[in-house]
Structure 1
Amino acid sequence: MGIRPVYVIGTCDTKEEELTYACARIRAVGGRAVLVDVGTSAPGKAPDVTAAEVAAHHPEGAGAVMGGTDRGHAVAAMAEALTHWLLAQPDIGAVLGLGGSGNTALVTQAMRALPVGVPKLMVSTVASGQVAPYVGASDLGMVYSVTDVAGLNAISRKVIGNAAHAAAAMALNPVPEGERDLPGLGITMFGVTTDCVTRLRAQLDGVFEAYVFHATGTGGAAMEKLADSGLVAALLDVTATEVADYLVGGVMPCTPDRYGAPARTGLPWVGSVGAVDMVNFGARDTVPAKFEGRQFLIHNPQITLMRTTPEENTAIGHFIAEKLNLCHGPVSLFLPLGGVSAVDVPGMPFHDPQADEALFTAIRETFRATDTRRLTELPHAINDPAFADAMAAEIRRMTA
């Protein structure tokens, strides 16, 4: 196939000098560079792919991107067009973006749509701050530009050059596929569901290669990103605490797309409602004042847990069941009637049968069972060995 190119992406109307320099550095070390212009105000002098070519990939055509007077709208439309354009390229060796906040938002949106494993680097003026909106659940690398991406100087040449060399090296030296005999299995875990996941891993050792994701907001999204990328064969979604944070206002929320991957892909999904007894916050003094008077558990100096109420559990149950109802592949949801976490069992601080029953009732009322969509209620707590054994047996049955 030859050398796969590094797609160097930026706005040639304002950053052409820096982009051209990055391309030169890639070529200097033996790589192949393709300069892609995503500027919306004026055409670049000599990109390999013009902004008009990219804009033509917008679902509504180039006119939806070019020619308007609203820069914010144009940038958002170009980001959508670039996403479609980039996904249509069959030979990506790496993607390298350069720019400020606007171009960072534009280019990283398209990068996030690429499968995990495709090299992605973004040299950005905002890379030293809160980068979660740009990175999401992808394997996207952010490089702080140190000086603004506004002309070449002794600093920017080094930073951009280093990033260009790194992108070239990744394109020139693709990681070989491992001889993975076992199918991948995505598993979600939290501290209070660890015993369940540990036993599941032991029960399924030799059957699957387990990929465990810490359910901290990005954990569930990362697992679903792998599902969308075709990198797992099934999902063992034990832990749903991100849903509680999303609905109640914690610091580790999922997105509205949680459980979207099994609906899109039809992958076998076996899951439970682990850790929905808690909403996660930072240090105790960071908990919003509106929650004063609630039941808290100090997990450590940086993490405070808040017990969910019956009303909140009703909303959680409806959310999960409604999402799973959209899945047309094999789905099996297990309810641990003895407690949804290690601290939701008799004698532990979050034991609240009324709140748990509100959760289970909401799921029973909303979940639509079919020949391929099952609801199983067990008398065990989620960390009881028998509960993990039942889930392990089900994922084996589904994937046999």
Structure 2
Amino acid sequence: MSEARIYVVGTCDTKAAELAYVRGLINAQGVRAVVIDVSTHSHGAGADIEAAEVASYHPDGPEAVFTGDRGRSITAMAVAFERFLSSRADVAGVIGLGGSGGTALVAPAMRALAIGVPKLLVSTVASGNVAPYVGASDIAMMYSVTDLAGLNRISRLVLANAAHAMAGMAKTLPPPSSSDKPAIGISMFGVTTPCVNRLVSLLEDLNDCLVFHATGTGGQSMEKLVDSGLLAGVIDVTTTEVCDLLMGGVFPCTEDRFGAIARTKLPYVGSCGALDMVNFGAQSTVPAQYKDRNLYVHNPQVTLMRTTPEENQLIGRWIGERLNRCEGPVRFLLPAGGVSLLDVPGMAFHDPEADAALFEALEQTVIQTGLRRLIRVPDAVNDPSFADALLDQFRDVMKDV
């Protein structure tokens, strides 16, 4: 492997001075840095690696990048840069500078890097919704305050902080974990916390338990680690993100939920945790078509909506179809006593008819085999006995690993 270096990325046709400034500050910290030009014109100046070289990594060649159409060119250069960066074995970190177009161009390549590789994106859009750029990765975003249109008294300060932060991250990487415990991914929501807490307490002596908050990106992060080969198994207690995807909530998964399990055949135990609810923001933000539904104000910023039997049929079929694509060891548990803290007798979302519709849809959809099984459990998801049942099934799917 060649000497590791930090890649300073941006469009040299508009930001050559800023990129050179950041490179110089990082080099001054004793860390090698190089400027990568991702201009969509081939004549950017001041780069160590020119835009034409990056563009050559596009599957259709550089002609697909330098089209003269800005939107198409940015999209194509993003593809080329992701392929370029994934080909490198010397990445100590990546720092990108950009406006909205540059941010959209650089972010996909950063997201494709492994978790833990330092990634910092200085952007004019970093004070807004950064979820489309960060996704399930560990990109750090810094708001540029002023536009990245030349060096001035503000941009020099912001860029210097970013450069020194990147140099510090690259120089002081934490030592690799000395633990040889297998890492286990576990999904959790507030309404499944007792179940997950019990699982962690029972597993942590022999396993490194990584708990993911099921807020859309939480599930994506867990499955990114599955795809990266960093998890030995998954206990997917809380599959609630599917409700938000199908009903328009604010914490949706993607259409690829369960995809990493199918691709890797990783040992998997799941359950119906929190499939009784769709998440919205403050009560005033609940869509008009849902205003008369069974709503529960979880806090001033989160309003929950109880799913109906018809919606649960759809949810069950959707999950079942994806479980059918999984050819590794799969167990999916159905908590007949209730799927969340709110779905038990006396609580706001207790609805046995809706739960029955969910379970029946799963049982009608999932093609059960020796490896892929549905298991009805009489307990509620947060009963200690349900966590114990999850653990028993997890030990079963892990026995041959």
Give me the TM-score of the superposition, normalised by structure 1.
0.96
Instruction: Say whether 1:81 aligns with 2:86.
Output: no
Residue in structure 1 matched with residue 29 of structure 2 by the alignment: 29
Residue in structure 2 matched with residue 50 of structure 1 by the alignment: 50
Paired residues of 1:4 and 1:172 also in contact (CA < 8 A):
no
Residue in structure 2 matched with residue 265 of structure 1 by the alignment: 264
Residue segments in structure 1 that go unaligned for 5+ positions in a row: none
Distance (whole Å) between structure 1 residues aligned to residue 2 and residue 178 of structure 2:
23
What are the residue-to-residue correspondences of 1:210-225 with 2, within 5 Å?
210-225=209-224
Distance (whole Å) between structure 2 residues aligned to residue 132 and residue 9 of structure 1:
20
Paired residues of 2:2 and 2:89 also in contact (CA < 8 A):
no
1:2 Cα shift?
A: 6.9
Cα displacement string for residues 97-150 of structure 1 (whole angstroms, at most 9, x for unaligned residues): 001110001101110111110100001111111111111111100011111111
Distance (whole Å) between structure 1 residues aligned to residue 318 and residue 357 of structure 2:
13
Partner SS for 1:93: strand
Paired residues of 2:192 and 2:341 also in contact (CA < 8 A):
yes
Residue in structure 1 matched with residue 100 of structure 2 by the alignment: 101
Partner SS for 1:236: strand
Identity of aligned residues (%): 59
Partner SS for 2:390: helix
1:268 Cα shift?
A: 1.2
Partner SS for 1:69: coil
1:45 Cα shift?
A: 2.1
Residue in structure 2 matched with residue 360 of structure 1 by the alignment: 359
Partner SS for 1:273: strand
Q: Runs of 4 or more off by more than 3 Å in structure 1?
A: none
Residue in structure 1 matched with residue 13 of structure 2 by the alignment: 13
Partner SS for 2:91: coil
Cα displacement string for residues 302-355 of structure 1 (whole angstroms, at most 9, x for unaligned residues): 221111011111111111111122222221111112211111122222111111
What are the residue-to-residue correspondences of 1:135-284 with 2, within 5 Å?
135-284=134-283
Distance (whole Å) between structure 2 residues aligned to residue 372 and residue 338 of structure 1:
25
Distance (whole Å) between structure 2 residues aligned to residue 154 and residue 299 of structure 1:
45
Paired residues of 2:20 and 2:46 also in contact (CA < 8 A):
no
1:33 Cα shift?
A: 0.8
Give me the TM-score of the superposition, normalised by structure 2.
0.96
Distance (whole Å) between structure 1 residues aligned to residue 167 and residue 71 of structure 2:
32
Distance (whole Å) between structure 1 residues aligned to residue 282 and residue 17 of structure 2:
46
1:69 Cα shift?
A: 2.6
Distance (whole Å) between structure 1 residues aligned to residue 298 and residue 57 of structure 2:
49
Task: Specify the code of the residue in structure 1 equivalent to 2:259.
Answer: G
Cα displacement string for residues 20-66 of structure 1 (whole angstroms, at most 9, x for unaligned residues): 11111111111111211111124222422221221122222222222
Residue in structure 2 matched with residue 296 of structure 1 by the alignment: 295
Cα displacement string for residues 200-243 of structure 1 (whole angstroms, at most 9, x for unaligned residues): 11221312111111111111112112222222211110001111
Task: Specify the code of the residue in structure 2 equivalent to 1:81.
Answer: A
Paired residues of 1:38 and 1:78 also in contact (CA < 8 A):
yes
Partner SS for 2:145: coil
1:3 Cα shift?
A: 4.7
Distance (whole Å) between structure 2 residues aligned to residue 136 and residue 278 of structure 1:
23
Instruction: Say whether 1:38 aligns with 2:38.
Output: yes
Residue segments in structure 2 that go unaligned for 5+ positions in a row: none
RMSD: 1.4
